[in-house]
Chains A and B, each alone.
Chain A
């Protein structure tokens, strides 16, 4: 070892060879340049890519979420619309049903009325016929009865019918007055 000028032996604290210093310097600089030019840029590039990809993924996920939310809103709107439509259809059906029922009822009422009217007319006609028939019969009977009571044959038909008619008119007028 080289003693210093003062005579202190620094021992292993001084480089044995100057080459150690130079070698250490040069070798380290070589490593540094390689790491600087190739290694760090490659790693950082990958990291940047990864960050970008993750950020992109998050964006994509956000977009998907927004899309899903929009779809949900749309479905809800559609559902509400369908519900409203259904309600409307039900309402309409109810109204229609009511109208139909009213119509049927009306028709039935009209039928019933017509039937009643028919019946009434028939009754009227029958009554008229009966009245006519009765009138003739009762006239005959009455005449016969009167003839028998009077005991004489009434030749004068004209007179006899007038008498009967008069009698019947009176007879007819009586219950009407009473009612």
Chain B
């Protein structure tokens, strides 16, 4: 595997970096999402040791530490720490898992708890100091989770129904006349086995990517305008600076919106995962 990474990464890295060098100044764009290697002196072979990986690892440590902290030394009558932990835990347990999965929810609870907390913490990295970058705006991370969910719901479906019955459940809706099968079967197959994992990953990625890009535009662009010293496209300096000030003030509203989106996307990803598992387990599609 390291060999493979070594083969692939230099290509990718140079591609991204080259694009970055094309962009003028530090104007926000796709290149703003290029990862920065932690140890550039080690060469491109180690460029995968970058800031995104570092924050993903830190996020993982934070999530694990949080859960271990709130779940340690539990008492029947909870203290503040445990109460807070139960609040978070119950949100996923009762609010998502039990609602979507019914009596089977207990088996999938660890997956959903891990999923929600991992996504939430990494999304919030986009709004908090030190990182200021949402991990899932690097699509690889989103694909990894989408792939895991894909494996999970298909796995439990096949485990419960057997491969053929599962395939039938998910391609032939109950009560559809046979003559419409040629139309419905490919559609259902596409929807359940292709569209679902792709949209799952894309939704998470695109929301954070877009949100972060908008924030970059407002903050970086606002700063540029505010500190401008020459006229731009015939506009006077004071107008540019006012516009820059407004855009910086407005960026606060965007941060608030992104905060909401971060939580929302973590929630949606978890709910959809639960939903897909529930559908896979259902006897009739």
Our verdict on whether A and B bind, yes or no, reads: yes
Does A1 touch B at the CB level, under 8 Å?
yes
CA distance A167 to B177 in the complex (A): 160
Closest chain A residue to B144 by CB distance?
A: A24
Task: Find out whether the CB atom of A23 lies under 8 angstroms from the CB atom of B67.
Answer: no
Closest chain A residue to B85 by CB distance?
A: A43
B interface residues with partner A (beta carbon < 8 Å): 1, 4-5, 8-9, 11-13, 15-16, 19, 30, 33-35, 47-48, 50, 52-53, 56-57, 59-60, 63-64, 67-68, 71-72, 74-76, 78, 82, 85-86, 89, 93, 106, 109-111, 113-115, 117-118, 137-145, 147-148, 202, 205, 209
Binds B, one of A27-35, A63-71, A76-84, A110-118: A27-35
CA distance A29 to B53 in the complex (A): 15
Task: Find out whether the CB atom of B71 lies under 8 angstroms from the CB atom of A43.
Answer: yes
Task: Find out whether the CB atom of B67 lies under 8 angstroms from the CB atom of A39.
Answer: yes
Contacts of B118 in A (CB 8 A): 27-28, 31
- Nearest CB on B from A52, distance (A): 9
Closest chain B residue to A40 by CB distance?
A: B110
Contact with B along A38-61 (1 / 0, CB 8 A): 111011111001100100000000
Contacts of A40 in B (CB 8 A): 109-110, 113
Closest chain B residue to A51 by CB distance?
A: B76
Instruction: Report 5 cross-chain contacts, Cβ distance below 8 Å, ordered by A residue.
Output: A28-B148, A35-B67, A42-B71, A49-B76, A53-B76
Task: Find out whether the CB atom of A19 lies under 8 angstroms from the CB atom of B53.
Answer: yes
The answer, among A1, A14, A17, A32, for a CB contact under 8 Å with B48, is A17
- Besides the contacts A18-B9, A18-B48, what 19 more A-B pairs have beta carbons closer than 8 Å? A1-B19, A2-B15, A12-B139, A12-B209, A17-B13, A17-B47, A17-B48, A17-B140, A19-B48, A21-B143, A24-B56, A25-B144, A30-B60, A32-B110, A35-B114, A43-B89, A45-B74, A46-B78, A46-B82
CA distance A46 to B148 in the complex (A): 29
Does A75 touch B at the CB level, under 8 Å?
no
Closest chain A residue to B34 by CB distance?
A: A16
The answer, among B15, B64, B71, B138, for a CB contact under 8 Å with A20, is B138
The answer, among A13, A14, A24, A39, for a CB contact under 8 Å with B141, is A24
List 7 A-B pairs, minimum CB-CB distance, nearest first. Answer: A20-B140, A24-B144, A15-B140, A19-B48, A36-B110, A24-B141, A32-B114
A interface residues with partner B (beta carbon < 8 Å): 1-2, 11-25, 27-32, 34-36, 38-40, 42-46, 49-50, 53
Task: Find out whether the CB atom of B5 lies under 8 angstroms from the CB atom of A18.
Answer: yes
State the majority secondary structure of interface residues on B: helix
CA distance A21 to B53 in the complex (A): 10
Task: Find out whether the CB atom of B5 lies under 8 angstroms from the CB atom of A19.
Answer: yes
- Nearest CB on A from B106, distance (A): 7
Contacts of B30 in A (CB 8 A): 11-12
CA distance A75 to B138 in the complex (A): 78
Contacts of B13 in A (CB 8 A): 16-17
Task: Find out whether the CB atom of A20 lies under 8 angstroms from the CB atom of B141.
Answer: yes
- Nearest CB on B from A14, distance (A): 7
CA distance A39 to B144 in the complex (A): 23
A23-B56, A27-B118 known; A39-B8 Cβ under 8 A:
no
The answer, among A15, A24, A30, A43, for a CB contact under 8 Å with B74, is A43
